[in-house]
Structure 1
């Protein structure tokens, strides 16, 4: 059984998308990041960077004690290896998938996250910061659009963890100042993934999590989420 410590954010959705696709049994343990539950000692024991998602595999392949994994990219790779799905074993294809997984983890997610922050959450509008991250968002969409030309998915015809990692960060494209009409290959890819039953189940699950608040409209939740420097 996979215990998923989760909140319905782009990084959280990555993991529910995988679990719904793979059929691995799992249970949800909500981590309300607007109330600071990511700082609780029990969560820090499995995710020392105080970020979700994280998982605990209660039945790892080695037969040993429950195994915890944090960081969404590492979780996707772990689950792919455990299930034997969505990550090729042939080296060339495997490393193409891992390249694009790490592209998302190291670039697409952090840059679009800064776009969200300065456009939606920052207490003051800083034009330089907004322009910087909107422009970088547009550049990254362009990289993805070029990659998807002539391909159904990021690494060819097969759906993979690279696609699951990137998709949730494209979902709020309008809030990022983007139009998918400007990136037709991204648009076709996006619509194909959105139509998958597992994607729809994953996002419907996020809507059932109690206690969710719009952080852009809740000052106290913003203080908890972005005031991480006051905690140790």
Structure 2
């Protein structure tokens, strides 16, 4: 059994999508971010960066004590390597998938997150920040579009954790100021994954987090955006 500490953010949805695709036995543990549940000591013992998702695997491959893993990319890699599910069989394809997983973690996710924040969550409009991050997301969409030019999936012919990692950050494209029509290969890939039954189940009832201006209370803003080194 795997405990999945989860909220319906793009990073949380990666793991929900992986679980739906693979059918891995798991228990969802909701984490209410605006209520500060990610700051509780028991959660910090699992995820010291106070972010979701995180997992506790009660049956690790080495047969030892339960193991906790935080950071969505690390969790995807851990589960894929443990189970072989959504993990390419050939070593070269494994490295291809890993490269694009790291690309998403280092580039697409952080830049899209900043674009979404300044476009929808910031208490005041900052024109430079909106332009800077919206343009960078557009560049990254172009990188992915070129990768998909003659490929069915990001790492080649097989659906893998690279696709799982990237898809939730393409879903809110409109709220990020992007038009998929500008990147036709990416749009084709996006529509293919959106049609998968597991994707339909994962996203049932899920709203675009950047589709409209957020209405956070001051207390919620402090919890979500006001943490410092000693928080």
Q: The TM-score by the shorter chain falls in which range? A: over 0.9
Residue of 206, 209, 218 corresponding to 2:216 = 218
Q: Secondary structure at the match of 1:153?
A: coil
Contact 1:145 1:185 in 2 (8 A): yes
In the TM superposition, residue 65 of structure 1 has moved relative to its aligned partner by 0.8
- Indicate the structure whose relative CO is greater, using CA pairs within 8 Å and at least 6 residues apart: 1
Task: Identify the structure with the greater helix proportion.
Answer: 1
Q: Secondary structure at the match of 1:229?
A: coil
1:38-68 CA-partner distances (Å, limit 9, x unpaired): 0000100000000000000011111111110
1:141-152 correspondence runs (5 A)? 141-152=141-152
1:30-179 correspondence runs (5 A)? 30-179=30-179
Distance in 2 of aligned mates of 1:48 and 1:215: 29
Distance in 2 of aligned mates of 1:215 and 1:81: 39
Give the TM-score taking structure 1 as reference length: 0.93
In the TM superposition, residue 231 of structure 1 has moved relative to its aligned partner by 4.9
1:134-178 CA-partner distances (Å, limit 9, x unpaired): 100100000000110011110111100000000000111001111
Gaps of 5+ in 2: none
Distance in 1 of aligned mates of 2:94 and 2:78: 13
Give the TM-score taking structure 2 as reference length: 0.94
Gaps of 5+ in 1: 208-213
Q: Are the structure 2 counterparts of residues 138 and 202 from structure 1 closer, same or farther at C-alpha, using a change threshold of 3 Å?
A: same
Runs of 4+ in 1 over 6 A off after TM superposition: none
Distance in 1 of aligned mates of 2:117 and 2:216: 14
In the TM superposition, residue 227 of structure 1 has moved relative to its aligned partner by 1.1
**Aligned twin of 2:180:** 180
Contact 1:216 1:222 in 2 (8 A): no
Contact 2:54 2:72 in 1 (8 A): yes
Q: Secondary structure at the match of 1:79?
A: helix
Tell me the number of residue pairs that the alignment of Structure 1 and Structure 2 aligns. Answer: 226
In the TM superposition, residue 230 of structure 1 has moved relative to its aligned partner by 7.3
RMSD between aligned residues: 1.5
In the TM superposition, residue 217 of structure 1 has moved relative to its aligned partner by 1.3
